[in-house]
Amino acid sequence: MAERMDDAARRALAALEDRLDERTAAYLNACVRCGLCADSCHVFLATGDPETIPAKKAERVARLYRRYHTLLGRIAPRFAGAEDASDEALDALATAAFGRCTVCGRCALHCSVGLDPAAILRFARLMAQAAGRVPKGIQASIDLARATGNNMGIAREDVIETLSWLEEDLRDTTGDASIQLPVDRPGARVYYVLNPRELKFFPLSISAAGMIFHAAGENWTLSSTDFDLTNYGMFAADEAAAGEFSGRIVRRAEELGVEELVVAECGHGYRALRWEAPEWLGRRLPFRVTSFVEVMARYLAEGRLALDPSRNPARVTLHDPCNLVRHGGVIEEQRRVLRAAVADFVEMTPNRLDNYCCGGGGGLLAASEHAAARLEAGRPKADQIRATGAKVVAAPCHNCIDQLGEINRHYKLGVEVKTIAEIVADALTTGGPG
């Protein structure tokens, strides 16, 4: 550490003091150590390491809390199960919160007394962040987004050129010269925001969205400047950064005067804009916020998309991203869409709210120092996928897609990983590739 330990400890303890709400304090004191949360955690299932049991990880916060906020902890810490905020304790807290937990929230569903260990782990991230212990890849993505407006540092002209190139490619491949990828269009009803990795490396999901909007006759636009839906501030429990990132998109939506902000397939980006942004910004948003998954389901229900499922004959299974499903409440829409778009859809087990994290959530994908642990933590997901016999995994989250791609190669699953929009675009009989 570049600075004196006691400064970092002081900031972590100040975060504990300032931000500890009644709910979290109650959670800290109420764990009965039954151990039921152990088997709920994909990290524990993958590693068998007792240190990764959710209650054990949460206990790291509780030990610091008891040391500084209870009488017995102050006078006889060893008898109170309390611990000093030492350099080692803060390092262990950061590793537990950022490297051995994806804040997926599955443990909260399995707690015998109704606690939420993930809420405590989010609090652990807040303390670790205050102590300057955010993994460097997550911090670098925050810094780049602050400096350039997006987390990959993509320049405005590169956005415009990429979209124009994709539009041309779309017209060529579909034979439909009227298809558009509109940018900064005033008067649009829908403002569609992206994950920068789509523009930089994986743009076919943007083309798919363009085909679907076109087929549905939507009046939509992209932004050449405020296009980045990601929010690594949320992962780092850095609310100032989180509010800054969501604030950019909210202001742009207001300038454009759109009715609806549509978030591309990204779990944490949806959660940030749909559920967290009003909290960070301290106000209600004057437009609707939806996931593109919900929009596709709505178009289907309204009869605005004609799909031929026989165009997707291979068996498809579905991954439920934690931030879209467990934390986001978008559960059935993706299933309705897939049943209409593919010939052979199978659920993995468990699924929906009880689904396992891919292992790369919570920003872990950007934290290279935990890469080996992340791949290991993907094993329960790999087992789930293999058991379905599917050839395609649909994943409505770009972060999950990257992790699923890695576990696909690491565990030799032999599947293709796709966004739901790409699968739908392949099944389109109107505006689709002939």
Partner 1 sequence: MPHLEIAGRTFLVDEEGFLQQPDVWNDEVAALFAASDGVEELTPEHWAVVRFIRSYWEQSGSAPMVRLLCKETGVNLRTIYKLFPAGPAKGACKYAGLPKPDGCV
**Residue 263: which of 326, 216, 195 has the closest Cα?**
195
- Closest distance to partner 1 from the beta carbon of 255 (Å): 25
The residue from 276, 294, 320, 402 that contacts partner 1 (CB under 8 A) is: 402
| 158 belongs to the binding site for partner 1 (CB under 8 A) | yes
Strands 220-221 and 190-193: parallel
- Vertex 433: Cα angle to 431 and 434 (nearest 5): 85
Q: Residues 365, 19, 61, 92: is their CA dihedral positive or negative?
A: positive
Q: Is 333 helix (H, G, I), strand (E, B) or coil?
A: helix
Span from 56-64, 107-115, 289-297, 395-403 in contact with partner 1 (CB under 8 A): 395-403
Please, which of residues 198-257 interact with partner 1 by CB under 8 A? Answer: 199-204, 230
Stretch that binds partner 1, among 125-133, 165-173, 303-311, 349-357 (CB under 8 A): 165-173
Q: Which residue has the tokens 């950022």?
A: 98
Q: What HEC string does 29-58 produce?
A: HHCCCCCCCHHHCHHHHHHCCHHHCHHHHH
Question: Which of helix, strand or coil describes residue 290?
Answer: strand
User: By CB under 8 A, how many residues form the interface with partner 1?
Assistant: 38
Nearer to partner 1, 327 or 374 (CB): 374
Neighbours of 146 (CB within 10 A): 15
Task: Note whether 183 binds partner 1 by CB under 8 A.
Answer: no
Buried b (16+ CB within 10 A) or exposed e, 180-200: bbbbbeeebebbbbbbbbbbe
Residue 133 interacting with partner 1 (CB under 8 A): no
Give SS3 for 61: helix
Q: Is residue 141 near partner 1 by the rule CB under 8 A?
A: yes
Name which of 105 and 196 has its Cβ closer to partner 1.
196
Site membership for partner 1, residue 165 (CB under 8 A): yes
Q: Toward partner 1, which CB reaches closer, 183 or 285?
A: 183
- Residues 352-391: x where in contact with partner 1 by CB under 8 A, - otherwise, as a string: -------------xx-xxxxx-------------------
Indicate whether 422 belongs to the interface with partner 1 (CB under 8 A). no
Buried b (16+ CB within 10 A) or exposed e, 368-380: eebeebbbbbbbb
Measured from the CB atom, is 144 or 343 closer to partner 1? Answer: 144
Residue closer to partner 1 (CB basis): 64 or 96: 96
Q: How far apart are CA 142 and CA 129, in angstroms?
A: 12
Angle at which helix 117-130 crosses helix 87-94, to 10 degrees, equals 130
Q: Is 152 in the site for partner 1 (CB under 8 A)?
A: yes
Min separation Cβ 366 and partner 1, Å: 7
Find the part of the chain contacting partner 1 (CB under 8 A) among 28-36, 82-90, 153-161, 315-323: 153-161
Does 264 bind partner 1 (CB under 8 A)? Our answer is: no
Q: Which residues bind partner 1 (CB under 8 A)?
A: 137, 140-141, 144, 151-154, 158, 161-162, 165-166, 169, 195-197, 199-204, 230, 266, 365-366, 368-372, 398-399, 402, 405-406, 409
